[in-house]
């Protein structure tokens, strides 16, 4: 079986390649080694891939001829390549749309031309916007986006859109209405929709894995596009206090990168006709503040500083129900957060 992995030189891609190395699959990686991810020009990534016996093709997923040359003869494509993170400001908007939406369309078109019938792609929890909430009086509700004025007053939790009362956060499942609240999120929704169109028109199988907060060895660090665990860990290792936004009470689901790699392998082994989406999370709720405190403790550094700062595009609570993946893919997260953070600390 020949598999092409776009963006395979990155954080999640490297973990996936380790998992695939235990199989008899032939793997080719197509990666642009973009400098906002690979600060060394891709030297370390190239060495890792070489040690795994994986061929690296340096090309951009928006280059149709380069993509088509690699997917010809492939049995499946895993599409990881993307510009990730919330971003810096709206000056990133066109890069996100080009890299993620156009990049996905180019990959899917090449798959159609080459006759590839199996695609697994990395989506994200950000497609949901705010997570699932319940009002004691009105039941399940979708809170409105948080306003700058409300955030500036330190009112971080969204209220009921009907009565304004406090809400109880709940686990979000795949049937929730998609509600992207920043540019990256909008491109991930578009990616899923493009995958659904491709699957419907070709009769192929496209699986979108909605990854929750992924962490683990090899996380990209010291970049504005890094995830929160990487940002906190970089600060802790420097001996500085991690800067926690809002009040630290934001609820998240942190899932280890090895568990994520296992989810991709499971999806490759469980093709379904049409398009299917699955949450990929640990199933355990933690707060941002808890994560920062644990990383500070592991690094032996100062405790986190809760700043009250905020970003308008952030959401308050987003935690996953991954039961559909358990039943549909036979996958569950296995790495507990504390064990996974120790893994990170000693990597």
Domain boundaries, the chain: 2-131+172-346
pLDDT confidence band for 105 (50 / 70 / 90): very high
Highest CATH level, class, for 2-131+172-346: alpha beta
* pLDDT given at position 130: 86
* Among 305, 263, 201, 217, residue whose Cα is nearest residue 16: 263
| CA separation for the pair 247, 306 (Å, rounded) | 6
Q: What percent of the chain has pLDDT over 90?
A: 75
Q: Is-catalytic flag, 133?
A: no
| CA separation for the pair 261, 18 (Å, rounded) | 8
pLDDT confidence band for 226 (50 / 70 / 90): low
* pLDDT given at position 41: 81
Name which of 49-53, 67-71, 171-175 the model is least confident about.
Answer: 49-53
* pLDDT given at position 24: 65
Predicted structure pTM score? 0.93
* pLDDT given at position 22: 80
**Exposure of 205 in the CB half-sphere (CA atoms within 13 A):** 13
Q: Which of 96, 128, 184, 310 is catalytic?
A: 184
pLDDT value at 224 more than 60: no
Enclosing H/E stretch for 123 = strand 118-124
Buried b / exposed e across 123-158, counting CB within 10 Å, b at 16+?
A: bbbbbbbbbbbebeeeeebebeebeeebbeeeebbb
């Amino acid at each position: 079986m020949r598999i092409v992995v776009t963006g395979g030189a990155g954080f999640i891609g490297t973990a996936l390649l380790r998992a695939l190395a235990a199989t008899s699959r032939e793997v080719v990686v197509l990666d642009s080694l973009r400098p906002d991810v690979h600060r060394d020009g891709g030297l370390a990534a190239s060495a890792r891939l070489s040690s795994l016996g994986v061929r690296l093709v340096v090309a951009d997923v928006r280059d149709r001829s380069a993509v088509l040359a690699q997917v010809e003869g492939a049995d499946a494509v895993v599409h990881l390549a993307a510009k990730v993170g919330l971003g810096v400001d709206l000056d990133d908007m066109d890069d996100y749309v080009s890299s993620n939406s156009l990049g996905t369309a180019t990959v899917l078109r090449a798959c159609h031309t080459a006759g590839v019938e199996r695609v697994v792609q990395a989506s994200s929890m950000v497609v949901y916007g705010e997570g699932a909430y319940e009002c004691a009086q009105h039941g399940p509700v979708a809170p409105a986006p948080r306003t700058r004025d409300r955030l500036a007053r330190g009112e971080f939790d969204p209220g009921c859109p009907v009565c304004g009362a406090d809400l109880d956060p709940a686990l979000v499942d795949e049937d929730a209405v998609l509600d992207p609240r920043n540019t990256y999120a909008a491109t991930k929704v578009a990616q899923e929709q493009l995958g659904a169109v491709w699957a419907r028109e070709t009769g192929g199988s496209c699986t979108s894995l909605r990854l929750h907060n992924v962490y683990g060895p090899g996380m990209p660090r010291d970049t504005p596009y890094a995830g929160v665990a990487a940002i906190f860990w970089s600060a802790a290792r420097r001996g500085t206090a991690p800067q926690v936004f809002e009040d630290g009470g934001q609820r998240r689901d942190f899932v280890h990168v090895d568990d994520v790699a296992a989810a991709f392998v499971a999806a490759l082994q469980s093709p379904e006709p049409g398009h299917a989406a699955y949450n990929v999370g640990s199933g355990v709720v933690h707060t941002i503040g808890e994560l920062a405190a644990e990383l500070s403790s592991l690094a032996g550094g100062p405790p986190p500083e809760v700043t009250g700062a905020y970003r308008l595009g952030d959401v308050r609570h987003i935690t996953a129900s991954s039961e559909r993946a358990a039943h549909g893919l036979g996958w569950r997260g296995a790495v507990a957060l504390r064990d996974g953070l120790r893994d990170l600390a000693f990597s």
